[in-house]
Amino acid sequence: MTRRIPILSIVIAVLGAAFFIIPLIATFNFSLRMKRGELSFEAYKSVFESDLFVSVLSFSAVASLLAIALGILIVVPTAYWVRLRLPKMRPVVEFLSLMPLIIPPVVLVFGYVRIYGTNSFLPLTMTDAGTNTLLIIGYVVLSIPYMYRAVDNGMASIDIATLTEAAESLGASRLRTIAFVIFPNIRSAIVSGAFLTFSISLGEFVITSLLNRPAFGPYLVQMGQDYAYQPAALAIMAFAFTWTCMALMEVFANLKPGQRLFQRRSPKTVEKALE
């Protein structure tokens, strides 16, 4: 029996891909035209040679990594405890984890300024360290929906109750069980959530701008107001970074617990693979 080619599905897929790819190609082509009459990577060179670019990228990277660490410390024990002891509370916790998608970031940051402002009992906004702390907390809040679901799905793929009972029968405490038993088994899920958190935090604009922090998001917007070709180069770089994170998520998501990304192979194994 001859298989029918789904022409309509192919056309829709091609049109959908063109909707995203054509603007990307046009942006990349524009970013190469900083020198009149020739194609060059001068815009990219100009971006990398800027001390401000290195400064804001370093600040955003450090803040994002701290947000990842704090998010893991909050989400992993919470998801573990809800699945192990409070399964009836899962719908409530899932709903609460979706609140950052409902509440606009501008409302969140104005709440921070109101609570931790000048007349507050804890005036964090009066110092750079305090404001940076609020920024990291804001990043954690924005990433909670993605981090929680990644970790929760990872825990759904393992038998938490059995692993906990086995660890406790060997004398492990609950904290030790989470750190040395549960955590390694959901490593790929945590890494996926970490990449999502990093990509969200790196380009975040509203909270960073209103807290007046020297981060990558406001820098990208400012570059768009002052220059023509450098913002296009930054947009291509940000797109490439996002897709790199997605590719790494896919790689780590397919790793089994205890499996390394690059494993050493013995000469005999290599010989068998080549036969």
What pLDDT, in 10s, does the model give residues 182-226?
A: 888 888 888 888 888 888 888 888 999 988 898 888 888 888 888
**What confidence score (pLDDT) does residue 270 get?**
30
Q: How confident is the model at residue 4 (pLDDT cuts 50, 70, 90)?
A: confident
Q: What is the pTM of this model?
A: 0.81
DSSP character for 178? Answer: I
**What confidence score (pLDDT) does residue 74 get?**
93
Helix, strand or coil, per DSSP, at residue 119: coil
**What confidence score (pLDDT) does residue 253 get?**
61
Q: Residues 75, 120: contact at Cβ < 8 Å?
A: no
Q: How confident is the model at residue 37 (pLDDT cuts 50, 70, 90)?
A: confident
Q: Residues 177, 135: contact at Cβ < 8 Å?
A: no
- How far does Cα 142 stand from its chain's mean position? 10
**What confidence score (pLDDT) does residue 248 get?**
74
* % the chain with pLDDT above 90: 18
Helix, strand or coil, per DSSP, at residue 115: helix
**What confidence score (pLDDT) does residue 252 get?**
65
Question: What is the rounded radius of gyration, in angstroms, for the C-alpha atoms of the chain?
Answer: 23
Rounded to whole angstroms, how far apart are CA atoms 193 and 182?
16
DSSP state letters, 197-246: HHHHHHT--HHHHHTT---HHHHHHHHHHH-SHHHHHHHHHHHHHHHHHH
**N-terminal to C-terminal alpha carbon distance within the chain:** 38
List domains and CATH numbers for the chain.
49-257 (1.10.3720.10)
The mean pLDDT value for 109-126 works out to 84
What pLDDT, in 10s, does the model give residues 134-188?
A: 999 999 999 999 999 999 998 988 888 898 898 888 888 888 988 888 888 888 8
Whole-angstrom CA distances from 215 to 4, 34, 61, 183, 207 are 53, 25, 9, 31, 10
**What confidence score (pLDDT) does residue 266 get?**
43
What pLDDT, in 10s, does the model give residues 76-109?
A: 999 999 998 888 898 999 999 999 988 888 898 8
